[in-house]
Amino acid sequence: MGEELYNNYIKARRSGMTGQEAENAVNRGGGKMISIELALKLENSGLMWEPKSGDIVFDNMFESFGVVIAPSRLNEIYVRISFLGSSGWNHMDIKEGTWIPSLSQLLSEIEKLGWEADSVRTNTGYACDIYFLSQTVHTKYQTFEGETRDEAAGKALLWLLEQKVMMIKVGE
């Protein structure tokens, strides 16, 4: 899925669109990608990236999207990546990039935190309901809305990451 989004993004950029216009076009065209702004908030709230082939990444230094071809075997902090307009591949330090997680990756991260998420269509877009998982109770806890399923799930994950940080600070 990551490569398909990336290819759609490249086509949009080559047609003369700015980066933001291309990102919006990819999202409207059925591709689903969270905004760079939301991805940065997730990263700053503690979301850890374990690079995998097909991941979409935004290179903060060159302000360009890329697709991870393969995590580098030489050093864990570098990934082999293909960038917009590039005919080959380059290595990028993962600290210089921002991971743009897919819907499945967002939902997986929510589950890692002990929650379950359900995404539903609404009149205005999508909603992501989160449920706390326990052995005895499975109750809806909160709902997050977005224009896409990815955005709604990204907002839910951001909230969970921020709550976890708050709980750690309060408990110190």
pLDDT of 151 reads: 93
Total domains in the fold of the chain: 2
110 lies in the same domain as 134: yes
Domain's final residue, options 100, 127, 161 = 100
The Cα–Cα gap between 26 and 10 comes to 10
Q: How confident is the model over 123-141, as pLDDT tens digits?
A: 988 999 998 776 566 667 8
Mean pLDDT of the chain: 75
Query: Does 26 share its domain with 82?
Result: yes
Higher pLDDT among residues 171 and 133, named by residue: 133
**Residue 166 domain boundaries:** 103-171
Residues 73 and 157 in one domain: no
136 and 150, same domain (yes or no): yes
Question: Are residues 77 and 114 located together in one domain of the fold?
Answer: no
Q: How far apart are CA 106 and CA 35, in angstroms?
A: 13
